[in-house]
Every structure is written in C-alpha cells, then in structure tokens.
Structure 1
Amino acid sequence: MPLDAASLRWLKRLTRDGRPLYLAIAEALEAAVREGELQPGDQLPPQRAVAEALGIDFTTVTRAYGAARARGLLEGAVGRGTFVRGRAAEDEAGLVDLSMNLPPPPDGISLGAQLRAGVDAILARTDAATLMAYHPGAGTLGQKAAGAAWLAPVLGDVPPERLMVAPGAQTALAAALQALARPGDALIVEPLTYPGLIAIAGRYGLRMIPCPVDDEGFQPEALARLCADERATAIYLVPTTQNPTCATMGLARRREIAAIAEAAGAWLFEDDPYSRLFDAPAPALAGLAPTRGVYIATLSKCLTPGLRIAYLMAPAGEASERCAESLRALGLMAPPLMAALATAWIREGTAEAILAGVRREARARRAIARETLPRARGADEALHVWLDLPAGTDSGQLRLMAQQRGLALVTAEAFSAGPGHPNGVRVSLGGPAKRAVLAQSLQTLAGLVGRGPAARPMVV
C-alpha cells in the first residue's frame, strides 16, 4: 500500500532522526491527531500495511501502535481494527470532573469499538426503518428476557413479563412515582439522597420525610415510626452503595425494611444502579416485599449511560399496569437502537465482558482513593466515595478552591432532603479518562482538605 493511500498519508509526517523508529511513528500519529488530519473514529490501516509501506519490521509498528495507545490516542478491539480515540472530557473542558457519577472506561476493552461492532451487527440483521420507527410500550419480550437475565444475580428467576424497559432510570422513577403517589403524600427518604429523586418529588408535590440512618441505611425503628406518624405512601432508598454515602444494607436489615413496608402498606421504591458491580450482590428488597416493592435498575452505572436503558418492575396486577401507563405517558418508549444494542450485548456476553472491565477499573481506582483519601468511605467496587470534612471546613469554599485548581466537586447540599446536612463531599472516581489523572486530582483534593478550616480563597 503506497503512502499516498488516504489511510497512510499521516505517515508522511514521519521524521527519521535517530530516535527509536517506533516512537517516531507514534509521534507522527499524535501530530496528525492534534492537527486534525486524523479525526476521532478514523480507522488506522493494519499494522502489516504500515510495515510494508515503510519497509520495516512488523513488530516495530506493533510497538508504535502500543505507544500511541498508551498516550490515549488509539483504541481497538480484536477483529475490528484500530481507531483514533476521542479526546477526554477533561482535555476539552479544562476541568477534571469528580462530580458526575460515571462508570470508568472498562479495563482492557474499547467501549467505542464494541459500540461500532454492535451497531454494525444490528444494522446487518435488522431493517433500519424498523429501528427508526415508533415502538410504543414497555419493550419487546426479547428485550425483557435480556433484562431478566442481566438482573438474575439480584432478582433471581423473574418472569420476563414482569419487567418494563424504560428510557433511563430517571424516567422509570418519575413514571412509578407518578403512578403510585399523589401530591401531598409523604415520601420517606434517606437524609442525603439522589438529587434526581429530590427534583421529581418537588415536581409532583410529594412531602419528603428524612428518616434517621446508620451505617446500613434506614434505622428500622425510626422508619416504622415515621410510616405510622406520617401515614407514608412511599419509601425511597438506594440500599447498595447508597448515593452519596456509600452505605450498603445487609440481608437482615433488608428483611426488616421490607417487612416494615409491607406492614405499613407503603410502596418501597428501590433504586439499584450499582448491585451488578459486585461479584455476589445482595438480593433486591423487591423480592422481600412482593406486594409493595418497586424495583428500578439502570445500565448507566455498570456499562455506559449512553445506552439510556433501565428496567422497572412493580408488583403484578394494578400497580404494574399503572406504572406501564405512566411510563408510556412520560417516555413513550426506550430508544429502539439502544434497546436492541443492550439486548444483543446481554445475549452475546458483551455486557458481562464490559462489566468485568468496569469492575477491574473501579477496583483499581478505589485503591488509588484509599491510598490518597484514607478516611473516605466506599466499597471496593464503588464508583464514588463519601468524604466527611474536618470540623469547621466550609464545603462551599472547598468546592470553590477545588474549581480554581481544575476540579469539579459536589458537596452534601446537593443531596440534602431536609434543612440540615452533614459536612462532606461525594468524590466520583469514574470521570477522569486515566488513572494518573484521577490520582493527581485526588492528591490535589487531599491537600485542600488537609489545609483545614483556615483554608480560604485569596480575594483582593
């Protein structure tokens, strides 16, 4: 293949100046990406084609591609080829995001390559017009069966017909609350809770009632008392790696909470974005509260938020029918192409492979956080940690100083369901594209926290 071939023109930048040739090739590629000659998503020629064009050994090109991959320039997948990688978000925005709770790039797997391969396969076997049409309803039986298989480690053997496929957990939660609660109803929540739930409750006019918690979540006696005193219609919780405090309920506590909901006749809304990150997750409360449990699980935290696919399950009968009607009213349908992709990934094992890569990367990042922020709480698989701040530290000032140093943080105020809240920050570990960026960012944060309450931004 001559160098004039479109896919090889970037090699004309190569300068043989005595440096190792593989590094010179990697730097020529980096220059082509930096100056726009190569764009994110462009496929590079096979390594043998590059070797033949340059008249060099194949292993030299292999080392060059490896060096470029180490610089974050390339991504690839077996059987698909090598592609130019998109720029990291922190490179574009100039800010390292420790505020948004994202799964990290899966270790050893190119998500971009898997996306291209998956979509290509779907388009090869499915008429494009079908994918681009309306598909009202809560998913096909095949999509529900895939969801049931994915959630089996948490839900056990659930009939696929019980599940609804939703365009994201936020829509699923909004639909379920709209279906089963009314304005003015009491909704019992954790004192620090998911901001999306706070927004929904405010929109629907629900009265959020914070319930005292301990290291496992809701205190059973307090929950039972509030259910009675407030005539609670609903209870909302994240029992596994609670957002933001990272508390996780043990099995005995789950049984207590489920029994309280059943006895009180309160709907138990279980938001479960994180359980599949664990090798042996605890059982869902929905199975322990069969007449009151409403279960929501998204693929956003275990795979990627771009899929916009979540699964909703409510008690069979009227409650499930009402949730399905509300889901249609709010979201009409899950995006057909993404629903097809998620289903194919689950059936073919790709989803499990991506999940394994996310787990490995999450554990590596949690280890970095444990070394840098030893007082932070969070499981080995957690995508975030909770850090209590020293007494007297102004969390707002800390957030401002972090921003001045290129870090985006979110403090307890964003999660507060009531007038008071503890002094702390949630530190998300998945946003930075590379571990080295995360490590440096956490070192910066640790330095700011270590300065204590006297830390103030300089104002003139």
Structure 2
Amino acid sequence: MTIRHIPWLRHAPKGGAAPIYLALAQALETAIRTGELQPGDQLPPQRTVAALMGVDLTTVTRAYGVARRRGLVDGAVGRGTFVRRPAEEDEVGLVDLSMNQPPQPRGLSIAASLRATTAEVLQRTDAATLMAYHPGLGALGQRAAGAAWLAPVLGDVAPERVQVCPGAQAALSALVWSLVGHGGTLVVEPLTYPGMLAIADQLGVRLIACPTDAEGLAPDALASICRRERPAALYVIPTMQNPTGVTMPLTRRQAIAQIATDHDLWIIEDDPYSRLMAEPPPGLAALAPARSFHIATLSKCLAPGLRLAFLVAPDGDRGAPAVEAVRSLAGMPAPLMSAVAASWIRDGTAEALLAGVRAEAAERRALAAARLPAAQGSPEAIHVWLPLPADWSAARLRAAAKARGLALVSAEAFAAGPGAANGVRISLGAPGRQEVLAEALAGIANLLGEAR
C-alpha cells in the first residue's frame, strides 16, 4: 500500500511548521470537510499510516487521538477507527422541519443493529449469491416477515399476497400506471402526498380532489364522484394523513370500503405511519381486501435508508396485472437490505427499534403541542399540520422561517387542486436533538405572533 491508496494523507506534508501529529489530524479534518472522507468510512490502521508517513506509531496514535477529541472519528479496540457522523450537539445552520423522517430511536443504535445483522447475514449467506440478480419481489421468507410486520394493521395475511418493493414510490408509480393509466381518473384527498402529484403529472392522470372533514374523506362526496366521474381508483392515506395528520376512525373506513366495493373502485392505500401507533386502526385493505392495494414503507417508522416497502395485493386474481406491473417497473429490492429487514422482523429488532422511535416521537409531538397548540396530528405522529387563516400567505411564512434558519413545507406542495386548505406541515423527526426541535418550534410560534 502507498500514499496513493490513502489520498487524505497528501494533506499532511512532512516538514511543515506544525508537528506531524497535528498535521495528520488537520489532514483528516480537511478530508472530512471536503467530503473526501464520509461518515462511516474506516481509517487505515495506525501502523499502516506510520509506515507510509515514515513516523513512529506514537505520532499517529496522537493524531488519531486529536481527531477523536475534535469529534471527527470514533472507534474501539478490535473494531477500528471510523469517520464519525456529525454530533447532534453540533447542529448548526438550517433546521430541517420539511423532511418527514422518523427520529432516532430512544436508547438504541440503528448503526449497531445494522452492523450486527449485516455481519450475521453475510456469515450465513454466500455473498456472490446475495449480490446477484434475484427474481420476483422478495423471497418467501422475506414476504412472510412482511406479513408479520403488517399483522397489527391487516391481521393475518398470506405471505403470497405480500411483495417486497424497493421503496413505496416505485410501487405507487407502477400501481397508478397499471390501474389508472394515461388519461384515467384518480381520486385523491385535497391535500396529499407530493410524490403522488408528481406521478400523476408524469403519467397524464387526471386528479379529482374529494372533499374531506375532520374524519377524512367525506363518504357522500366520494360516492357522488364515483357516480359522476367513474374514476378508476382512489389514492388515500387514512392514518396520520400527509400532510393534515388526520386518522380516519373505523366507521369512516368502513364507509369508504363499502363505496369502493359498490362502485368497483380500486383503493391504493398508502400507509407509512400506522406502525407508529401502539394500537393502529385496521387498514382499508383489511376491510375491502378484494379492492385494495396496501403499501407500507419502512422509511417512516424505522429508517429511510432501508429503502423497502411491503405491498399487499388484493385477494384473488384481479390484482395480478397490477402486481406484474410493479415487478416490471420497480425491479427487485436490494437483497442485502431485504435480508436485514426480514432478520430484524423475525428476531424482534424491528419491534425494539420501533418502540424507541415511538417513545422519541411521542415526546417530540408533546413539544409541538406545548409550543404550537393549534398544530394538528396524532399523539404518536412524526409530523403535524399547522392550519393558517385563508388570507395568510403560507409561502411568506415559509420564507420568513427560512430567513431564521428553519425549513418548512407549505400547503401548495400538497394541493391537488384549487381551494385546498391553507397551512404548513412541520416534520418533527429530522432534528437530532429535542432541544434543537424545541427552539425551532418556538421560533415558528414567534413568527406567527409577529404576523398577527
């Protein structure tokens, strides 16, 4: 091995004014700051660096020690030294309240779980096989794990009905393409997931916004749309709706399921958040299994980096063409992440991580309730909806927040048509520390006070 194989060492020339151990530490900091070294990258052994630089081992040990004290690296005997992710207490600049993601689980390390499970998977599975192409959307064991994960929402589901997809967006795109198609009509909520708005735009799908009330979609309005427009499908987020936070009660779900059955309407049920609830209501796919496609991503309740979603297809053969479309357009899920997720579900790690996310999310939601009493959303939610008067400019509030270092997303990003409610969505999971979130929420409250 030469210095050419460890490019960051070129930042530490010998013979400079600073002692070589400080020059090495500064070289590490420079490489991390410029992105040459990324969080999680493993540094070479100290003896290797010492040999390449022509210095004694103690010099490199001191350099790594300085880097550790500066918060640049961490490690342990026998494991090695790794570039450290930015510490939560180092959070500076823009506080992201726009990206909906789960907070880090309370008292648990996803990194530690990922390292342990990945090692276990690689030990029991031939790496070449793992990295090869795999037919279908998940092995049967992975699909069975998905069925187990979804049981609190859907009850007992045959593993054969479960598909393992590389994220929810790919599955949603394929379903809309297959069930609705170019020029077809899709019913949505007036404020809905921006990713679905993008899909509809790309595929030339006509959207109809169904009126809602405090319990979600209005059944009479949906039935009227079905009679008048004969839409192909309904896209709905019935639990902790994005962005409004509304969760449909059981009676409302039963009414929507009955309308779909009566009018031969497909239901595309997007369900990122149900598992955040200790006792989630039954999914629409449990109430209308012959009419529903249920999609549940792991990105909002465990970790976005898993890039996995479970798709539950309808009973019977009518949904088979849509499932084939998902296979054609989405392709296979990443085998390693699929194996990790299935292992976590089987051995209880997923439930433990979920419990940690729930605990942290509940405390963050309580912070939002205290500082922004008008914010709407479930007690376990990772986002809230802050309604604004119709004559207020949500875009102006968003711009004012950005000027104070706060990133928000406002109603126009979610609007499926004119006349949608005014407001901003505030995501609670991205800030690393509760103190940072609390200060950001107080900043929004101050902006609202000034606007009055």
Please give the range of the TM-score, normalised by the shorter of the 2 chains.
Answer: 0.7 to 0.9
The more displaced of 178-187 and 104-113 is: 178-187
Do the aligned residues in 1 keep the contact of 2:390 with 2:421 (CA within 8 Å)?
no
* Contact persistence 2:185–2:233 (CA under 8 A): yes
Give the deviation of 1:176 after TM superposition: 1.4
Is residue 185 from structure 1 mapped to residue 187 from structure 2 by the alignment? Answer: no
How many residues are matched?
A: 399
Contact 1:241 1:274 in 2 (8 A): yes
- Name the residue aligned to 2:258: 259
* Residue 323 of structure 1, CA deviation: 2.3
The 8 Å contact of residues 191 and 244 in structure 2, kept in 1 or not, is answered as: yes
User: Which secondary structure does the structure 1 equivalent of 2:301 belong to?
Assistant: coil
- For residues 423 and 257 of structure 2, the distance between their equivalents in structure 1, rounded to whole angstroms, comes to 29
Could you tell me whether the CA contact under 8 Å between 1:43 and 1:84 is conserved in 2?
A: yes
Q: SS state of the match for residue 282, structure 2?
A: coil
Q: Is the 8 A contact 1:224 1:260 kept in 2?
A: yes
Bigger CA drift: 171-180 or 80-89? 80-89
The within-5 A match list for 1:164-313 is 164-313=163-312
Paired residue for 1:349? 348
In the alignment, is the contact (CA less than 8 A) between 1:180 and 1:319 conserved in 2? no
Distance 1:81-1:224 versus aligned 2 partners, 3 A rule:
farther
Instruction: Using the TM superposition, give the Cα deviation of residue 329 of structure 1 relative to its aligned residue in structure 2, in angstroms.
Output: 1.8
Contact 1:240 1:249 in 2 (8 A): yes
- Contact 1:411–1:424 at 8 Å: present in 2 too? yes
Q: Which amino acid aligns with 1:430?
A: G
Shift of residue 448, structure 1, vs aligned partner? 0.8
Q: Which residue of 1 is the match for residue 377 of structure 2?
A: 378
Tell me the secondary structure at the aligned position of residue 319 of structure 2. helix
Name the CA shift for 1:345/1:323 in 2 (closer, same or farther; >3 Å). same
AA aligned opposite 1:196: G
What SS class does the counterpart of residue 318 from structure 1 fall into? Answer: coil
User: 1: CA distance between counterparts of 2:288 and 2:209?
Assistant: 21
The letter of the residue matching 2:183 is: G
- State the Cα distance separating 1:402 from its structure 2 match: 0.9
Higher mean displacement: 183-192 or 260-269: 183-192
- Secondary structure of 2:424's match? strand
Other structure's SS at 1:451 match? helix
Deviations 1:333-359 (A, max 9, x none): 001111011011111111001000000
Match of 2:8 in 1: none
* Structure 2 CA distance for partners of 1:209 and 1:98, relative to 1, 3 Å: same
What CA distance in whole angstroms lies between the structure 1 residues aligned with 2:80 and 2:150? Answer: 32
The alpha-carbon distance between structure 1 residues 342 and 204, as it changes in their structure 2 partners (threshold 3 A), is same
Provide the TM-score with structure 1 as the length reference. 0.81
Ranges of 4+ aligned residues in structure 1 off by more than 6 Å? 30-39, 71-77, 79-84
Q: What secondary structure sits across from 2:373 in the alignment?
A: coil
Q: Find the aligned partners of 1:186 and 1:329 in 2 and give their Cα distance.
A: 22
- The whole-number CA distance in structure 2 between the counterparts of 1:316 and 1:80 is 49
Q: Matched residues in 2 for 1:138 and 1:353: separation? A: 26
After TM superposition, give the deviation of residue 40 of structure 1 in Å: 4.2
Distance 1:75 1:213, change over 3 A: farther
Q: Does the Cα contact within 8 Å between 2:190 and 2:420 map onto a contact in 1?
A: yes
Residue of structure 2 in register with 1:133 after alignment: 132
Change (3 A) 1:356 1:291: same
Determine if contact 1:76/1:110 at 8 Å carries over to the other structure.
no
TM-score with structure 2 setting the length: 0.82
- RMSD of the alignment, in Å? 2.8
Contact 2:177 2:203 in 1 (8 A): yes
Offset at residue 318 of structure 1 (A): 3.5
* Counterparts in 2 of 1:175 and 1:181: CA distance versus 1, 3 Å: same
Offset, 1:114: 1.3
Correspondence for 1:449:
448
Corresponding residue for 1:456?
A: none
Identity %: 60
How many Å apart are 1:331 and its aligned residue? Answer: 1.9
Q: Deviations over 1:205-246 (max 9, x none)?
A: 111000110111101111100111011111111000000000
Secondary structure at the counterpart of residue 397 of structure 2: helix
Distance 1:228 1:114, change over 3 A: same
Q: Give the direction of change, closer, same or farther, for the CA distance of 1:447–1:154 in structure 2 (3 Å limit).
A: same
Q: Tell me if the contact between 2:88 and 2:433 (Cα under 8 Å) persists in the aligned partners.
A: no
Secondary structure at the residue paired with 1:312?
strand
Q: Which amino acid aligns with 2:258?
A: A
What residue is the counterpart of 2:117 in the other structure?
Answer: 118
Q: Aligned pair in 2 of structure 1 residues 264, 452: CA closer, same or farther (>3 Å)?
A: same
SS in 1 for 2:187: strand
Measured against aligned partners, the alpha-carbon deviations of 1:290-335 in whole angstroms (never above 9, x if no partner) come to 2211111111111001101101122234333212321222121001
Contact kept, 8 Å, 1:75 with 1:110, in 2: the verdict is no
Tell me: CA distance 1:233–1:75, structure 2 relative to 1, closer, same or farther (3 Å): farther
